[in-house]
Structure 1
Amino acid sequence: MSAGRWAYTRLLWLAAPFIALRLAWRARRQPEYLRHVAERFGRYGEAPRSPVIWIHAVSVGETRAAAPLVEALVQRHPEHSILLTHMTPTGRETGRRLFGDRLLQAYLPYDYPFAVRRFLAHFRPTLGVLMETELWFNLIAGCRQARVPLYLVNARLSERSYRRYDRFRGLAAEALGALEGILAQTEADAGRLIRLGARRVEVVGNLKFDLTPPAAQLAQGQALRALFGSRRPVFLAASTREGEETRVLDAVARLHVPGLLTVIVPRHPQRFDEVATLVARRGLTLQRRSEARPIAPETQVVLGDSMGELFAYYAACDVAFVGGSLVPLGGQNLIEACAVGVPVLVGPHTFNFEEAAERAVAEGAALRVVDEAALAGAVAALLADAPRRRRMAEAGRAFAQRHRGAVERVLARISAGIG
């Protein structure tokens, strides 16, 4: 074990009590964190009987990004079991909703050497895929020792993340150099990874462009729109993060659009009640999506307190703001909204999707707003201009279609490692 990884592992052991406390703390809001706890330490049930292709998707966004790759692997390698691992209950639930019982699901263990050994001995994967930027130093070293080819796929590294990893350049370079291959989203991502010491880096594009809006969810969107009221203008704030709903509601307060219905879908389900309370404190009339009843004419805000319906929400609105971007959190995935064909608004903070956001704006599929006042102005202008909304919708679909193809490029690269 290198000196850097020894120090990292020692810190993990020192942090063990705090990791357990954090798990218990998070379980206060999401009791699911206390389910399958043994898996987090490398203890699993019955071992799979068929060879395993393993994909790690830490949470919701990575799980959704992995979906087209998972589907392609299921079709092309029916003799293999697909194992999808996560770190969060919401990621695990997203995988269950997307794939049902067609594949195996488990938590990836914490990055202790003993837990990594148990995980690899139990599942014995033929090949492993880490989605986006998941550098687990002992896991990567364990796969190298067990001769499990491990790829970093859909890899991205913002300038902010690069600076964080650069403080531990030796350890990062050791991990990146031990990977079988790194398949980056963009040239900028590849460049930053190479500067950190990565080798065998290729640019293959973003898997999220290959995710086709499910027909069932598009139909569900039509049903949602009927519940909302087909003649009411609908503004959607999707995947909002903590501190952002206040800004969205400030923007809505500036609007004077007759009959406007605002739909807010928080990114994390544990915040549903918090957002409902925030809306109530504003004196606004609220209904929850979970009530599954028509929206009353006097209702001003709908809380999207459901899981796995984001495409439906996009299909049911006139204008969509994609969250995580009015606050400095890097933004959520705007590609899904573009693919559905809805005019998209994003805030100034989109470093998690910088190239996609810049291209969407340049190609007329999205508009960038700098604050809540600009958000209000953009929503008002778009709701008053149906031809402009149609042009942006068409540009969004074309933008999403134009950049597809990453799944085939990834498959071509990793197929040699699949028996």
Structure 2
Amino acid sequence: MSSRMARMALTSYRWAGVAIYPLVGAYLTYRAAKGKEDRTRRAERFGFASAARPQGPLIWFHAASVGETNAVVPLIREMRRRDINVVLTTGTTTSAKVAQARLGAETVHQYVPLDLKPAVGRFLDYWQPDVAIIAESEIWPMTIMELGNRHIPQVLVNARMSDRSFTRWRSRLSLAEALFENLALVIAQSDVDAERFRDLGALPVTVSGNLKVDNDMPAHDPAQLDSYKRQIGTRKTWAAISTFEGEEMAAATVHRALKERDGVLTIIVPRHPERSDDLEKALTEKGLKVARRTRNDPLTPETDIFLGDTIGEMGLYLRMTEVAFVGRSLFAEGGQNPLEPAMLGCAVLSGGHVQNFRDTYQKLARNGSARMVRDVEMLAKAVHYLLANDAARQTMINAGLETVQEMRGALTATIKGLEPYINPLTVKARLQPRAAAQG
């Protein structure tokens, strides 16, 4: 595709968005019926604000889902420490709840506008951000073009480029270059990610490491944790976290294989808690007794599965065990972030489909803190081995803690990269109150 054709394609995309804009309402209604949209705040998806814009400099942060939201929390807190206002957009109801739980009134939260010219334009007209900071891998053509047209610096932080995305963009190189030339800066997670962004036309590109390593430890309720530990008693536990379809049933199969030998309690934390009703039914049909966190069910000696069907309590679930399988890796592809279990003292197990977190898994596996399994049978053997061998389990835990410590520093590197964009806003924010007082 030539440069001229790429720009024609982007122009066509722009006007196609204008054409379908009146029809999008029905689509959002359908998503709301599925629990994927907040029907009470649907107008935000069309760019209509539901909160007042704070006075003074403002940065627009966008984090698509839970992982990205957690990753940018320390960055947002640094901006607020500098008296810079923040509007944070997310794309899922789950991430909105995480934003509220972790940031509260520190920021204004809105749902991200649809990538259509009327919605994006209305959003930018109202919020007038000085800088846009986008987390990880969110590439929305209309949003990028609108920010570029308004000369608003846009920065990708904690940026990553999956194998699939790179292949897709590489096949449309002129289109990628026409978009990525609008980026003021890309701060990538790894050298591989950085090289991919450069190949697609982004400049400048730096490497920070993974912001999730520098994040706060996932919170938990100490009293609740103590209560659960008393209920568990001497039973062995393991967790299957961030699971996708099929992996919960795999965890159930592992549980049945280990139940008689190890007297094990299995903790399952689905990536999408709204699936929990269906999961409970499926697990019960397998003859398993299920306790759910949302019901505050007690963990009795007869409980087989503890279903962690809440949002923002991963710290609680991981502190209940020392062995964690990380999902979206056995059947689904891409993987999920293994850093939280490593940070909280768990030996990490995973399937082999971890393309989105390859660099992180390589570092953990190289140091002996993560093991990959091919199938359910191998997962059952790995869980049994770790539960039965305290020394082997502790060796993996210690290796994980050491690896995480070695990986720290991404927050400092990211802030350093952002300084040309945020330092002027810091000065402006701190001078404004004085100017007002003098007036």
Q: TM-score, normalising length from structure 1?
A: 0.94
- Residues 367-400 of structure 1 deviation map (CA, whole Å, 9 limit, x = unaligned): 1111111100000000001111111111111111
* Paired residues of 1:286 and 1:300 also in contact (CA < 8 A): yes
State the secondary structure of the residue aligned to 1:217.
Answer: coil
Classify 1:224/1:21 alpha carbon distance in 2 versus 1 (closer, same or farther; 3 Å).
Answer: farther
Q: What SS does the corresponding residue of 2:38 show, helix, strand or coil?
A: helix
- In 2, distance between residues paired with 1:353 and 1:14? 38
Alignment equivalent of 1:71, drawn from 77, 81, 87: 77
**TM-aligned CA deviation for residue 188 of structure 1:** 0.9
How far does residue 14 in structure 1 lie from its aligned partner after superposition?
5.6
State the alpha-carbon separation in 2 of the partners of residues 51 and 205 from structure 1.
28
- The 8 Å contact of residues 212 and 339 in structure 1, kept in 2 or not, is answered as no
The SS at the match of 2:130 is strand
Aligned to 1:305: 309
- Report the structure number with the largest CA radius of gyration: 2
- Rounded Cα–Cα distance in structure 2 between residues aligned with 1:19 and 1:367: 44
Contact kept? 1:221, 1:314, Cα under 8 Å: no
Query: Which residue of 2 is the match for residue 30 of structure 1?
Result: 35
Where does residue 407 of structure 2 map in the other structure?
A: 403
| Partners of 2:308 and 2:412 in 1: CA distance | 34
Q: How well do the aligned residues superpose, as a CA RMSD in angstroms?
A: 1.9
Q: Which of 261, 271, 278 matches 1:274? A: 278
SS at match of 1:250: helix
Alignment of 1:8 with 2:26, yes or no, is no
**How many Å apart are 1:248 and its aligned residue?**
2.0
Relative distance call for 1:386 and 1:225 in structure 2 (3 A) is farther
Name 1:166's counterpart in structure 2.
170
Paired letter, 2:186: I
Distance 1:125 1:278 in 2: 47
Equivalent runs, 1:255-404 vs 2, <5 Å:
255=258, 256-404=260-408
Structure 2 residue identity aligned to 1:49: Q
For structure 2, the residue ranges without an aligned partner over 5 or more in a row are 1-5, 426-439
Among 37, 44, 49, the alignment partner of 1:39 is: 44
Q: Which runs of 5+ in 1 are unaligned?
A: none
- Which one of 236, 246, 249 corresponds to residue 246 of structure 1? 249
Residues 95-244 of structure 1: pairs in structure 2 closer than 5 A: 95-214=99-218, 216-217=219-220, 219=222, 222-223=225-226, 225-226=228-229, 228-244=231-247
Whether 2:62 is the aligned partner of 1:56: answer yes
| Cα distance in 1 for residues equivalent to 2:172 and 2:280 | 41
* Deviation per residue, 1:202-250 (Å, 9 max, x gap): 1111101101315x52736732642551311111010101222122222
Q: How far apart are the structure 1 equivalents of 2:281 and 2:23?
A: 30
Distance 1:224 1:109 in 2: 42
Measured after TM superposition, the shift of residue 293 of structure 1 is 4.2
Instruction: Name the SS of the counterpart of 2:60 in structure 1.
Output: strand
Change (3 A) 1:122 1:361: same
TM-aligned CA deviation for residue 164 of structure 1: 2.1
Residues 230 and 68 of structure 1: CA distance in aligned 2, closer, same or farther (over 3 Å): farther
Distance 2:16 2:43 in 1: 21
Query: CA 1:303 to 1:228, structure 2 compared with 1: closer, same or farther past 3 Å?
Result: farther
Counterpart of 2:78, as a letter, is A
* Alpha-carbon distance, 1:162 to partner: 0.9
* Secondary structure of residue in 1 paired with 2:266: strand
Q: 1:189 deviation in Å? A: 0.9
Question: In the aligned structure 2, how far is the partner of 1:253 from the partner of 1:349?
Answer: 24
Could you tell me which amino acid in structure 2 is paired with residue 414 of structure 1?
L
Deviations 1:152-180 (A, max 9, x none): 11110111111122343322221111100
Q: Is the 8 A contact 2:31 2:37 kept in 1?
A: no
Q: Structure 2 vs 1, CA of residues 20 and 206 (structure 1 numbering), >3 Å: closer, same or farther? A: same
Report SS of the residue matched to 1:354. helix
**Superposed displacement of residue 117, structure 1:** 1.8
- 1:240-287 Cα deviation digits (max 9, x unpaired): 012221222222232243321111110012111111111011111111
- Which digits, 9 at most, give the CA deviation of each residue in 1:24-81, with x for residues without a partner? 2222231753121111111114232232122100111110111222222222x12x21
What SS does structure 2 have at the residue aligned with 1:320? strand
Q: Could you list the per-position Cα deviations for residues 311-357 of structure 1 after superposition, in whole angstroms to 9, with x for gaps in the alignment?
A: 11111113110111112321111001100111110111101100101
Give the TM-score normalised by the residue count of structure 2: 0.90
Q: Give the match for residue 415 of structure 1.
A: 419
Counterpart AA for 2:62: H
Q: Sort the Cα spacing of 1:342 and 1:225 in 2 relative to 1 into closer, same or farther, 3 A.
A: farther
Number of positions where the alignment pairs a residue of Structure 1 with one of Structure 2: 416
Cα–Cα, structure 1 residues 148 and 228, in superposed 2: closer, same or farther, change >3 Å? farther
User: CA contact under 8 A between 2:244 and 2:332: conserved in structure 1?
Assistant: no
C-alpha distance after superposition, 1:89-132 (max 9, x if no partner): 11111101111111110012111222222211211112110100
Query: Following the alignment from structure 2 to structure 1, what is the Cα–Cα distance between the partners of residues 172 and 317?
Result: 41
How far apart are 1:13 and its partner, in Å? 4.5
The letter of the residue matching 1:188 is: V
CA contact 1:345–1:369 (8 Å) conserved in 2: yes
